[in-house]
Amino acid sequence: MIFFLIEFFRNVLHLKAPLAFEYYSTRMMLAAITSLTLSIFLGPPFIKKLYELKIGQSIRTADCPLLGQLHEKKKDTPTMGGALILFSMLISMFLWMDLSHVFTLILLVTTLILGFLGARDDYLKLKYKNTKGISARKKLLLQSLTGALVALYLLYPTFTSSLQIGTWFQPPVVKEQISLKNNEAQETKLQTAPNSSHVQLTLREYAGRIYVPFFKEHVFSFSGALGIVAALFIICVVTGSSNAVNLTDGLDGLAAGCLILVASCLACIAFISNNVDLAGYLNILYIEGSGEIAIYLSAFIGACIGFLWYNGYPAQVFMGDTGSLALGGVIGVSAVLLKRELLLALIGGIFVAEAFSVILQVASYKLRNKKRIFLCAPLHHHFEYKGWPETKVVVRFWIVGLLLAIIGMASLKFQ
């Protein structure tokens, strides 16, 4: 929207629009301020409306009866607060992002599909108190479909070209820095660092590469017949990220605080990847237009901070599946577009630990004659069972998340 307004001022009103509004850094700040302001000021009427609709959170007591006692006061706290986060993010998107860029389209579609899935799941849980909402199979199918759409765009040129409408939704330019021999370095005009140059990658090459934190070069490339493996990998990242955040959303402020840390790291990487000099200096991919991802993640951060105003202990509202499934999907897709999937596993280590605790618990229960590894899963409930106050669990998980985020950012330099 900002570019349409700038064009209108210049060509119709013949007025000079400040160049600062075209800078990615400016739009990142404005997006964060917009979503933060919206989520804080719309919070009270939104929460009031949820109370009127009697959209209260149900407490899990079947397999973890102690939770019913520990979380008794949370019983009537309204859920589906994620709708407020997503609304704030989308308003920021329409105001400050380039609506013609394909990254904007991908992030919009991801938010809408997974937001609808989460909202539908929350609605069914609230309407039919004895059900668990959408079945796990159907939920996994729609999450996989979201990842498959991203994989189709990146790996199959026919699908990519079908999205282009004139100058809209053109594929991004992706360049990789390569080392040159001395005589080649003297001849090239694309030199960005001593004895180095940039070569452009195809979308298929870009999407098929796997980068490991602390290593400069990609460790593996899914090319040719292995394209289907790359597609499955992308689907797993998006689906796993969405479900991991959903599992982490169990204590006041836990998921929102961890999401802020992860999104902050990815936003920084997206901003750096959009600058050919910075990308060359840190030896990471130059991804033209990745600043749009940075803007959306800035809106994501602002909306989560605003939501945390009401979701901090004692919570006045929960994000529910409406927020957790969509927000997890957004960071998963962002990591895929930035080729930082394994880095996401590092900086989002809290989400990984929460997801694995559930997998291990279920596997142990089925394979070891109903014996459990943890007192209760996901992991944060295990510590509650051990007697840790809720606020201590949340703050300590935030601290671990911050440490992982710092290590993740340091990996860009120490490689």
C-alpha–C-alpha distance, residues 195 and 183, integer Å: 9
Q: Tell me: the pLDDT tens digits for 229-259?
A: 999 999 999 999 999 999 999 899 999 999 9
- Tokens (6 digits) for 263: 């999104």
Question: Residue 183: what pLDDT?
Answer: 45
Helix (H), strand (E) at residue 199 = strand 196-201
Question: Residue 63: what pLDDT?
Answer: 62
Assess contact for 155 and 230: CB atoms under 8 A: yes
Segments making up each domain of the chain, as ranges: 25-58+77-345
| 146 contact partners, CB below 8 Å, separation of at least 6 | 109, 110, 113, 114, 238, 239, 242, 329, 333
Question: Residue 182: what pLDDT?
Answer: 46
Task: Give the neighbor-by-neighbor strand order of the sheet with 286-287.
Answer: 196-201, 174-179, 286-287
Question: Residue 196: what pLDDT?
Answer: 54
Residues of the chain with pLDDT under 70: 8, 14, 56-66, 68, 129-131, 178-197
C-alpha–C-alpha distance, residues 85 and 39, integer Å: 7
C-alpha–C-alpha distance, residues 27 and 20, integer Å: 9
Q: Tell me: the pLDDT tens digits for 278-313?
A: 998 999 999 999 999 999 999 999 999 999 999 999
Question: Residue 72: what pLDDT?
Answer: 74
Select from 378, 393, 311, 328 the least CA-distant residue to 57: 311
| 204 contact partners, CB below 8 Å, separation of at least 6 | 154, 155, 157, 223, 227
- Tell me, rounded to whole angstroms, the distance of Cα 335 from its chain centroid: 7
Helix (H, G, I), strand (E, B) or coil at 370: coil
Q: Tell me: the pLDDT tens digits for 182-223?
A: 444 444 444 444 445 678 898 999 999 999 999 988 888 887
Going through 50-185 in order, the beta strands assigned E by DSSP cover 174-179
